[in-house]
Amino acid sequence: MRELRSVLRGNVGVIAISWFLFSISGSIVNPFFAKYAKDLGASDVDVALLRSLGMMALALSLIPGGILTDYIGRAKTIIIGTACVTFSQFLYAAAPDWRFLAGVYVFDMAAHFYQPALTAIIMDSLPRGAELKGFVALQIVSSTPGLFMPIIGGYLYDAIGVLGIRYGFLAQGFVALAVLIMRIKALQETYKPVSRDLSKYVFELSGYRPVLLKAFKFYVYTAFLWPIAASVLSTYGTIYAIEVIGLSKLEWGIVSCASTAGSIIVMLTLLGRRVEPERALVRAVAIASTSIVVFPIPYFTSCCRLLVLVAASVALSASSGVAMSAISATLTAILPPEIRGRATGIQRTLEQLGGALSSIIAAALYLGLGPGWSIVASGLVGFLGAAYVHRFIVGRAPLRAK
């Protein structure tokens, strides 16, 4: 707790509390979103298309969002985006069919244009040398509701069907409204633009080419290699567990809660240790890839299906959380404050484009190879990603700024 308090102060504390609140309601509905879409009439292909469209919408909004972050400041951008997201949550609850749901999802994803501002304000606010600890602490706080809320979501879904998820989205709307008010009152601006010439913010990045080339090594992994590796599970994981393996929605909620608990325990151990982000990264991506390959074992044998899914989910959640924290910490050291919004906008845009592509790949794998072998195939891509991280990031000279 002492380690947590040392980094969760000021803006970082405000973001941590808001993510915690979002996670409370989000943990009720997010594990069951794909199933909700199917219950509203979507097919397996429609689920992949819906996810792909949402990612494309977010990708198109992130570059302008990154420019806006450096042009008007972090706090204003966050507040505008949070207001749009708040409105969309109430629309989810009222969706009459999957096509309306898809429209709301596209709007909601585009409204997250303020993601670069969130990342930039955290980078600006963390103490130097505590970047990894700070991002790990944020992962812990935002993950904590996942210890119990998915069970509630699964129970509601089993008990009253689609109406249970509608209630979850309604709750998320009121939570988002509370977060919006808190961010308006508590966020402090960390960066004041030095120029009002918008064209400068578009073309200035050419002067930071060496820095961006360092950052791009990470972007290749986060935008393409990892999304493809996780594509089948992120697109069809819920459908695979409930419709193929035969878990109840409550059991799938238990798997989700267990994965969160394991992830939190692993990340808590990191808070008290001095860990080099680059070294933690290569181990984490290797474990994550192995976990994906383990996931389809219940498809090929009915032995210990719940235990295998829990173990694989715990390892996957913990390792991916550590990997993304390590990447964020290293990028904080690499990127100068004046370009963090735009550089993060580029990163998030590439990630969403990669995610949109990975959804199409997931559909092709899932429908072409079947549930089990499609997850194995995507996990093999994860091993390629681990080799890339070892060769081009960790295996090279240190990337962190002196």
Tens of pLDDT, residue by residue over 30-39, are 878 888 898 8
Whether the pLDDT of residue 201 is over 70: the answer is no
Identity of the residue numbered 133: K
pLDDT of residue 388: 92
Q: Say if residues 75 and 187 touch (Cβ distance below 8 Å).
A: yes
pLDDT of residue 288: 92
Token pair 């389809």 in the structure block, residue: 296
pLDDT of residue 195: 63
pLDDT of residue 354: 86
Q: What is the 3-state secondary structure (H, E, C) of the chain?
A: CHHHHHHCCHHHHHHHHHHHHHHHHHHHHHHHHHHHHHHCCCCHHHHHHHHHHHHHHHHHHHHHHHHHHHHHCHHHHHHHHHHHHHHHHHHHHCCCCHHHHHHHHHHHHHHHHHHHHHHHHHHHHCCCCCHHHHHHHHHHHHHHHHHCHHHHHHHHHHHHCHHHHHHHHHHHHHHHHHHHHHHHHHCCCCCCCCCCCHHHHHHHHHHHHHHHHHHHHHHHHHHHHHHHHCHHHHHHHHHHHHHHHCCCHHHHHHHHHHHHHHHHHHHHHHHCCCCCHHHHHHHHHHHHHHHHHHCCHHHHCCCCHHHHHHHHHHHHHHHHHHHHHHHHHHHHHHCCHHHHHHHHHHHHHHHHHHHHHHHHHHHHHHHHHCHHHHHHHHHHHHHHHHHHHHHHHHCCCCCCCC
- The DSSP secondary structure of 156-177, one letter per residue, reads HHHHHTHHHHHHHHHHHHHHHH
Name the class of domain 2-186+208-394: mainly alpha
Tens of pLDDT, residue by residue over 253-311, are 888 888 888 888 888 887 767 777 777 888 899 999 999 999 898 888 877 788 888 89
Provide mean pLDDT across the span 380-400. Answer: 78
- The model's pTM is 0.77
pLDDT of residue 117: 93
Provide mean pLDDT across the span 122-132. Answer: 83
Tens of pLDDT, residue by residue over 41-60, are 988 888 878 888 888 898 88
Average pLDDT, the chain: 85
Whether the pLDDT of residue 252 is over 50: the answer is yes
pLDDT-derived band at 383, boundaries 50, 70, 90? very high
pLDDT of residue 352: 81
Tens of pLDDT, residue by residue over 350-369, are 988 888 788 889 989 998 99
pLDDT-derived band at 198, boundaries 50, 70, 90? low
Q: Is the pLDDT higher at 402 or at 73? A: 73
pLDDT-derived band at 136, boundaries 50, 70, 90? confident
* Calpha distance 146→378 (Å, rounded): 25
pLDDT-derived band at 399, boundaries 50, 70, 90? very low
Q: Say if residues 148 and 5 touch (Cβ distance below 8 Å).
A: no
pLDDT of residue 261: 84
pLDDT of residue 290: 92
pLDDT of residue 401: 42
- Range from 110-119, 140-149, 150-159 that averages highest in pLDDT: 110-119
In the chain, what are the domain boundaries? 2-186+208-394
